[in-house]
Amino acid sequence: MVIMLFVGAALFGVLAWATGVLVRRERRRLGTSAEAHRIESAATRGIRDARRRARALHHTGGSGGISRMDVRD
């Protein structure tokens, strides 16, 4: 019974901590300016493009895919 109480308290603590982290992040986002939103969307676009390029490199044969493509041109 005591072990169940410790486990329950630990789970409650983890959930409370995670909720606090999410609330703090959301509060920080609400106060951002238009410039901050523009920077964040550009960064998100950049991450998306980097993932797309990495996936393309994987399909073309590895990390040297771009240089091999340049040599052929």
**Range 15-39 burial, b when 16+ CB lie within 10 A, else e:** eeeeeeeeeeeeeeeeeeeeeeeee
pLDDT tens sequence for the chain (73 residues): 889 999 999 999 999 999 998 888 776 666 667 887 788 788 888 888 888 888 887 777 655 545 555 444 4
- Give the distance between the most distant pair of CA atoms in the chain: 72
Structure tokens at 19: 């909720």
Domain ranges of the chain: 20-49
pTM over 0.75: no
Residue 43 — φ and ψ, nearest 5°? -65, -40
